[in-house]
Amino acid sequence: MKGSLELTRVAIVGLGLMGGSLAAALKERNACQEVWGIARRKETIDEALQRGFIDKGTCKLANGVKGADVVVLATPVRVIIELIHELSPLLPSGCLLMDMGSTKREVIKAMGALPPHIQPLGGHPMCGKETSGLAAAEANLYEGAIFVLTPLPRTSQEALDLAKELVKAVGARPLVVEAERHDRLVAAISHLPYLLSLALVMTAEEVAAEDDLVWKLAASGFRDTSRLAASGVTMMLDVLVTNREAVEEMLARFRGQMDRLEKALKLGEEKRLRRLIESARRQRTEQLRGATR
Amino acid sequence: MKGSLELTRVAIVGLGLMGGSLAAALKERNACQEVWGIARRKETIDEALQRGFIDKGTCKLANGVKGADVVVLATPVRVIIELIHELSPLLPSGCLLMDMGSTKREVIKAMGALPPHIQPLGGHPMCGKETSGLAAAEANLYEGAIFVLTPLPRTSQEALDLAKELVKAVGARPLVVEAERHDRLVAAISHLPYLLSLALVMTAEEVAAEDDLVWKLAASGFRDTSRLAASGVTMMLDVLVTNREAVEEMLARFRGQMDRLEKALKLGEEKRLRRLIESARRQRTEQLRGATR
């Protein structure tokens, strides 16, 4: 394995928002020797080349990873898992294979079956937008974001260090977290909000069936709270399906908290309601104070 | 009643985000003869004068509304209701009394008891920010927003026209909606999102009690979905308490929609889950397309 990022050729599989932005950031900062792109559609490769995000590109996986020092999988989680199996006989010896999927347990499990000459490592940058695709990609997407890394027991220190160098090179902050712990925590702060956002839109839709003025009155509050409902469908479906248990745990906890609020409101326990609201407001303000995005 | 806004003296009671922004917008556009401010604290009056939002100000309600042609109540809903009773013997004959409270049914009810020489009218601008107070006020807050007006049976056409003129003068779009209908619709697109936002923060807090890494991983998705939890506590408490029935209806509907999503996930009915997600995504995109805020 090449120990220094600047000497590596980085192949990125999937040039959507995340992969495209990673390519753009690596190129803009001149962080590695070359950036290669692999995408399903020829038009995506052409756009990435034209925007200067990659040095070369191909639609053929085998060609795209040949001679690569680092391969980054940037597709929906279940495609990542398929790609790991598919890449198993194709990856060069000593290659670092990492991913940027939103759940980690099943990815890590698939990585565990790779031949020993490959260095696998899970990754998940805690950033994004509700718009997907290469058109939305931008070089500063990772700026200031936490980038979770989930090494396997077999992952060498050298491979982890190279991944950390890559993460820092695009402006993000590496944070090593165990895969199961990661999945449970993102169920609370990412997958639960997504489901709430969907169910909120579905509720408004239900009300709109009786009175469609409801959409006209929707202002910034509704817009913010429902923003995640605009996320990429396939990406989020993969997330939910590969993290079902943790998501169900968080839904149950959420119901419990909603019940506390509703009970206080229903019983006219105003002091209790005010305490709950004040505490949540304080928590939100204090805990998100330092967050950059 | 003076028929044209530019000849009127407008007194605004409450110089927080909404009242302060209304004063700022009226002054900036030179929309009326004079803007007066009434606030509980002397410091607020001083700040509003210093920023050029009002021509004069006082902490004394009776002095502040003396000689006013239009009085706008811009406080939390239950304070508005108290103010209506308090202002009843104080308002000049022919005066237009309107409010900007977030729920309308109870406000309208209180307005119904005013003496016949006063012209009452409910109002609710569909905009805001999660930051409150005069410091957050800005002249363009109302730009492009829907401004709901809820006339009483006794409200004259002249009074309604004057209110519409005021609404348009600050850049908003007047929309006449019956009070009960308004309250039910905002329960769906404003009060429900608020409660979800609170319960989401409470859930994260519950998880953080076991693993405080959760806050560190919270990214833009959590930030957006929980934004409303930072709203002013007294304002929102008044909203919930004065709109309890409609809020409870929406909570029940929301639970039903969440159950649909969870059931499809739990049973592994992926096609159904995808259909639900795709439909919500499409609705959100299409219905909010035209919205400016």
Q: How far is CA A263 from the centre of its chain?
A: 36
For B239, nearest residue in chain A (alpha carbons): A265
State how far residue A179 is from chain B, nearest Cα, in angstroms: 13
Question: Would you write out chain A's pLDDT as a tens digit for each of its 293 residues?
Answer: 666 999 999 999 999 999 999 999 999 999 999 999 999 999 999 999 999 999 999 999 999 999 999 999 999 999 999 999 999 999 999 999 999 999 999 999 999 999 999 999 999 999 988 788 999 999 999 999 999 999 999 999 999 999 999 999 999 999 999 999 999 999 999 999 999 999 999 999 999 999 999 999 998 899 999 999 999 999 999 999 999 999 999 999 999 999 999 999 999 999 999 999 999 999 999 988 755 44
State how far residue A109 is from chain B, nearest Cα, in angstroms: 21
Same fold, A5-177 and A182-287: no
Q: Which runs of consecutive H residues, i.e. helices, occur in chain B? A: 17-28, 42-50, 61-65, 77-87, 105-111, 157-169, 179-186, 192-208, 213-217, 220-225, 233-241, 244-266, 270-287
Measured CA to CA, the distance from residue A15 to residue A54 in angstroms comes to: 10
Task: Indicate which of A18, A196, A213, A292 best probes the interface with B, i.e. most B CBs within 10 Å of its own CB.
Answer: A196
Q: What is the mean pLDDT of chain B?
A: 95
Q: What part of B 135-154 touches A (C-beta under 8 Å)?
A: 145-146, 148
Instruction: Enumerate the residues of chain A whose CB falls inside 8 A of the CB of residue B126.
Output: 217-219
State how far residue B131 is from chain A, nearest Cα, in angstroms: 11
Please tell me chain B's helix, strand, coil percentages from 3-state DSSP, rounded to the nearest 5. Answer: 55, 15, 35
State how far residue A218 is from chain B, nearest Cα, in angstroms: 6
Measured CA to CA, the distance from residue A36 to residue A57 in angstroms comes to: 5
Report the half-sphere exposure of B216 (CA within 13 A, side-chain side). 12
Sign of the C-alpha dihedral, residues A255, A285, B225, A78?
Answer: negative
For B242, nearest residue in chain A (alpha carbons): A265
**DSSP label at residue B92:** P
8 Å CB contact between B8 and B31:
no
B11: pLDDT confidence band, cut at 50, 70 and 90?
very high
CA angle A285, A138, A181 (to 5 degrees): 50
Q: Does B289 touch chain A (CB under 8 A)?
A: no
pLDDT for res A129 = 82
* Gyration radius from chain B CA atoms: 21
What is the architecture, at CATH level 2, of domain A182-287? Orthogonal Bundle (1.10)
Total beta-carbon pairs less than 8 A apart between chain A and chain B: 295
Instruction: Enumerate the residues of chain B whose CB falls inside 8 A of the CB of residue A291.
Output: 218-219, 223
Q: How far is CA B132 from the centre of its chain?
A: 12
Closest CA to A197 of A165, A161, A233: A233
Residue B164 pLDDT greater than 90, yes or no: yes
B114-158 pLDDT, tens per residue? Answer: 999 999 999 999 998 878 899 999 999 999 999 999 999 999 999
State how far residue B10 is from chain A, nearest Cα, in angstroms: 26
B46-91 pLDDT, tens per residue? Answer: 999 999 999 999 999 999 999 999 999 999 999 999 999 999 999 9
Instruction: Enumerate the residues of chain B whose CB falls inside 8 A of the CB of residue A236.
Output: 277
Percent of chain B having pLDDT more than 70?
98
Task: Indicate which of A127, A149, A175, A220 best probes the interface with B, i.e. most B CBs within 10 Å of its own CB.
Answer: A220
Helix (H, G, I), strand (E, B) or coil at A137: coil
8 Å CB contact between A189 and A118:
no
Asked if the ipTM is above 0.90, the reply is: yes
Measured CA to CA, the distance from residue A47 to residue B206 in angstroms comes to: 45
8 Å CB contact between B121 and B200:
no
Measured CA to CA, the distance from residue B218 to residue B203 in angstroms comes to: 13
8 Å CB contact between A25 and A169:
yes
8 Å CB contact between B186 and A257:
no
Quick check: B194 and A221 CB within 8 A? yes
Helix (H, G, I), strand (E, B) or coil at B153: coil
8 Å CB contact between A229 and A197:
yes
pLDDT for res A292 = 45
DSSP B101-163: -S--HHHHHHHTTS-TTSEEEEEEES---S--SGGG--TTTTTT-EEEEEE-TT--HHHHHHH
For residue B95, the one-letter residue type is: C
pLDDT for res A84 = 98
Measured CA to CA, the distance from residue A130 to residue B102 in angstroms comes to: 29
How many other C-beta atoms lie within 10 A of the C-beta of residue B227?
Answer: 22
Measured CA to CA, the distance from residue B269 to residue B265 in angstroms comes to: 6
pLDDT for res B289 = 76
8 Å CB contact between A124 and A263:
no
8 Å CB contact between A169 and A29:
yes
B293: pLDDT confidence band, cut at 50, 70 and 90?
very low
Q: Which runs of consecutive H residues, i.e. helices, occur in chain A? A: 17-28, 42-50, 61-65, 77-87, 105-111, 157-169, 179-186, 192-208, 213-217, 220-225, 233-241, 244-266, 270-287
Measured CA to CA, the distance from residue A176 to residue A152 in angstroms comes to: 11
Quick check: A206 and B261 CB within 8 A? no
The CATH number of domain A5-177, selected from 3.40.1500.10, 3.90.960.10, 3.40.50.720, 3.40.50.360? 3.40.50.720
Q: Which two tokens stand for residue A189?
A: 């702060």
pLDDT for res B44 = 97
What's phi and psi for A121, nearest 5 deg?
-160, 130
Q: Which two tokens stand for residue A66?
A: 């040949």
**Identity of the residue in B201, B204, B262 whose CB atom sits nearest the CB atom of A251:** B262
How many other C-beta atoms lie within 10 A of the C-beta of residue A183?
Answer: 26
Helix (H, G, I), strand (E, B) or coil at A89: coil
B219: pLDDT confidence band, cut at 50, 70 and 90?
confident
Closest CA to B123 of B96, B144, B141, B143: B96
pLDDT for res B290 = 57
Strand ranges of the sheet holding A34-38, from the earlier edge strand across to the other edge: A56-58, A34-38, A9-13, A70-73, A96-99, A119-125, A146-151, A173-176
A113-139: buried (b, 16+ CB within 10 Å) or exposed (e) per residue? ebeeebbbbbbbbbbbbbebebebbeb
Closest CA to A94 of A68, A132, A59: A68
Helix (H, G, I), strand (E, B) or coil at A37: strand
Q: How far is CA A43 from the centre of its chain?
A: 24
Q: Which two tokens stand for residue B148?
A: 């709901």
Residue B292 pLDDT greater than 50, yes or no: no
Residue A118: CB partners within 8 Å, gap ≥ 6? A88, A91, A93, A95, A97
| Domain locations along chain A | 5-177, 182-287
B233-287 pLDDT, tens per residue? Answer: 999 999 999 999 999 999 999 999 999 999 999 999 999 999 999 999 999 999 8
Question: Residue A171: which region, alpha, beta or left (left: phi > 0; alpha: psi -120 to 50)?
Answer: left
Closest CA to A177 of A141, A138, A148, A212: A148
pLDDT for res A290 = 57
For B198, nearest residue in chain A (alpha carbons): A280
DSSP lists the bridge partners of residue B58 as B38
Measured CA to CA, the distance from residue A143 to residue A145 in angstroms comes to: 6
Q: Which two tokens stand for residue A96?
A: 């670092």
